[in-house]
Structures are given as structure tokens and as C-alpha cells.
Amino acid sequence: MGAIFFALLSALLAALVAILSKMGVSEVDSNLATAIRAVIMAIFMLTVTAVQGTISKVGTIPKIPLLYIVLSGLVGALSWVAYFRALQLGKVSQIAPIDRLSVVFAVVLAALILKEKVNVQTWVGVGVMAAGAIMVSLA
């Protein structure tokens, strides 16, 4: 299956995360909810890698890529702490579009940090996405 299929699946699952998370944090501290979610994710991913037989390769990951993976995990955890708190305080219909501004930030950061080439069409699309996210969140 192609990248587009998995990207669409990811988007659908992310939408379900927002809905289920909002339902979950209605009567629970958002940090506790995030911690529970993280444990479930860790158990699930350890199971997936064990079934794949790749868990034994952890010790072979070079130090620099491992550092980036660890930093990604820390930043991801901070992102989820902020996301769950935002969901606890606001409406999914307002929080999710703002959260999806991560696409805009990712393109900008990819151009700045990774030196990815971004054409005019992409910049226009990023601008439209940003405007759309803001419009939806303010509705």
C-alpha cells in the first residue's frame, strides 16, 4: 500500500484520537490521561516490534539517530501534554484545526532545518492550510 493510503489512515486515526481523548479527559486530569495514553502506546509499540522481530535491534541504533529519536519522543510527549490540556479546556472543533497547523510548521521547519526545496505551489497550499485552520477554529 502506498504512502497516501497510510497518510489518510493516519489522518482518520488522528481525528479519532481527538474525539476519544476529549471524551476521556472530561473527568480526568489531562496529564494523567496523557500518561495513561503513553503507557498504552508504549506497550502496543513494544508488542509490534516484538512480533516483527525488530526489538532486538535497539542496541544497534547509531548514537546520533538514537539522540534524534529520543528528542522526538520528548517533544512528542510535550506536544501531547499540551494537546490533552487544550482538549480539556476547549472544543475539539477548535483545538484539532489549530493542532493541524503542525503541517504548516513542519513545512517551514523542513525548509529551514532540513533544507528541503519548497516550491511556490507548496507555499500557497501552506498559506491556505493556515488560513483554513484559523477560520475553522474561530467558527
pLDDT, averaged per 10 consecutive residues of the chain (139 residues), comes to 87 90 91 94 96 94 95 94 93 91 94 96 96 90
Q: Return the CA Rg of the chain.
A: 17
pTM comes to 0.81
Q: What is the pLDDT of residue 26?
A: 87
How far, in Å, CA of 109 to CA of 73, rounded?
18
Q: What is the pLDDT of residue 139?
A: 78
Q: Where are the domains of the chain?
A: 3-89, 100-139
Element spanning 10, H or E: helix 3-24
Q: What is the pLDDT of residue 7?
A: 86
Cα of 83 vs its chain's centroid, Å? 10
How far, in Å, CA of 81 to CA of 35, rounded?
9
